[in-house]
Amino acid sequence: MRAVSRFPLRRAAELDADPQPERWLIESLWADEAVGIVGGEPKCCKSFLALDLAVSVASGAPCLRHFQTRQRGPVLLFAAEDPLHIVRRRLQAIALAAEVDFDTLDIHVITSPSLRLDIGEDRRRLRVTVEALKPKLLVLDPFVRLHRVDENVVADVAPLLGYLRQLQRSFHTAVLLVHHARKGAGSTRAGQALRGSSEMHAWGDSLLYLRRCRGDMIRLSVEHRAAASIDDFSIELKVQGDALALQRVEDESSFHATDHNAPSAIERVEQVLAQASMPLSIRQVRQACRMRMSNVGQALDTLAAQGRVVKDSNGFRLANAASAFPVSHPL
């Protein structure tokens, strides 16, 4: 009988330390070598945002004309829904807005009519392509066109995501999937609004989630597994001469003054507590709401004064949620 070897072991203190605990591909937006999702509702410019990240990584230009690119290198792109001439036109416009030379842009487009992650031959071809190009970023848009499995079944989705994670680890490349939100998920927390299995949200290291608010204005939420997330901010699709590209809205005062459909801070805090399965600390509420700590504190104070929120030793909860939480008994 063949002897079975044990798994290799190290004490925790002997593990290699990361010299740069927070390493970015694009500052505050996408972690270096991260897998993740650009998600959102239909017609929210998800593909435009994915292409903006691609242009930034390929050229070194700031993403959305604001966020600094920290790692530069080749980008591999597969756009399943758009004709190649549309892909070219969009990339050319973003390059113009970013003031980079389109003719030398280090973006390589897969021109095959289909790429299916649930087909073994396609997985092997993609791996060989990634190994040859060694891209800093792999963009696949959208996820729904990359398979024919049931997105709601973890056993079907997990192997596809696991394959992409293997690509990331084997070739040290970031992987970006464009993915749709569920219908009627407008007020749901960003990652939980993604269509299909919860495995999608759990898989991602970086998540960019888009919601349309009014007119051409879009709100972008950012989540990271291993780094602090920045507050939500607004972006819009701007036409400047021949350039059509997204950019961050630097002055949001007019947006906040007129956007009556956006949930208030109190409503956002109440929504988060309503979805929680246990009391939350103020930091957990702040992280879920993606708001400034001062705004979260004021909202919790108001809700507590109105008797709608209760604070105990375990944290904050809705006043009517006491019976829904398990009771903890002292040992």
> Would you place residue 198 in the very low, low, confident or very high pLDDT band (cuts 50, 70, 90)?
confident
Percentage of the chain modeled with pLDDT above 90: 57
Residue 189 and residue 287 in one domain: no
The CATH number linked to 280 is: 1.10.10.10
Where is the domain boundary, 210, 225, 258?
258
Where is the domain boundary, 231, 258, 285?
258
The pLDDT of 120-137, averaged and rounded, is 98
Residue 238 and residue 126 in one domain: yes
Range with the poorest average pLDDT among 35-49, 231-245, 295-309:
295-309
> What pLDDT does residue 250 have?
81
The pLDDT of 7-11, averaged and rounded, is 89
User: Could you read off the pLDDT of 133-192 as tens digits, one per residue?
Assistant: 999 999 999 999 999 999 999 999 999 999 999 999 999 999 999 999 877 555 566 666
4 falls within a domain: no
Rounded Cα distance between 133 and 329, Å, is: 58
Q: Is 24 helix (H, G, I), strand (E, B) or coil?
A: strand
Residue 247 and residue 112 in one domain: yes
The pLDDT of 16-23, averaged and rounded, is 70
17 falls within a domain: no
The CATH number linked to 179 is: 3.40.50.300
pLDDT for 259 beyond 80: no
Number of domains in the chain: 2
Q: Which of 303, 327, 326, 330 is nearest to 316 (CA)?
A: 303
Residue 145 and residue 235 in one domain: yes
Residue 230 and residue 296 in one domain: no
50 falls within a domain: yes
Angle at 199 between CA 197 and CA 202, to 5 degrees: 140
Q: What is the pTM of this model?
A: 0.74
Residue 250 and residue 269 in one domain: no
User: Could you read off the pLDDT of 29-70 as tens digits, one per residue?
Assistant: 999 999 999 999 888 999 999 999 999 999 999 999 999 999
Range with the poorest average pLDDT among 23-32, 62-71, 191-200, 206-215:
191-200
108 falls within a domain: yes
pLDDT for 220 beyond 60: yes
Range with the poorest average pLDDT among 95-109, 163-177, 228-242:
228-242
> What pLDDT does residue 170 have?
98
User: Could you read off the pLDDT of 179-191 as tens digits, one per residue?
Assistant: 998 775 555 666 6
Q: Which domain holds residue 272?
A: 265-324
> What pLDDT does residue 185 have?
55
15 falls within a domain: no
176 falls within a domain: yes
Residue 51 and residue 161 in one domain: yes
Residue 223 and residue 288 in one domain: no
Residue 275 and residue 134 in one domain: no
The pLDDT of 300-305, averaged and rounded, is 84
Residue 43 and residue 126 in one domain: yes
Mean pLDDT, rounded, of the chain = 88
User: Could you read off the pLDDT of 77-94 as tens digits, one per residue?
Assistant: 999 999 999 999 999 999
Residue 192 and residue 56 in one domain: yes
Rounded Cα distance between 81 and 237, Å, is: 20
Q: What is the DSSP string of 41-98?
A: STTS-HHHHHHHHHHHHHH-PPBTTTBPB-----EEEEESSS-HHHHHHHHHHHHHHH
Q: Quick one: CA torsion of 128, 130, 133, 139, rounded to 10 degrees?
A: 150
330 falls within a domain: no
Q: Which of 52, 51, 47, 50 is nearest to 62 (CA)?
A: 52
CB-CB neighbours of 208 under 10 Å: 23
Supply the Cα-derived Rg of the chain in whole angstroms.
22
The pLDDT of 292-321, averaged and rounded, is 84
Residue 192 and residue 309 in one domain: no
123 falls within a domain: yes
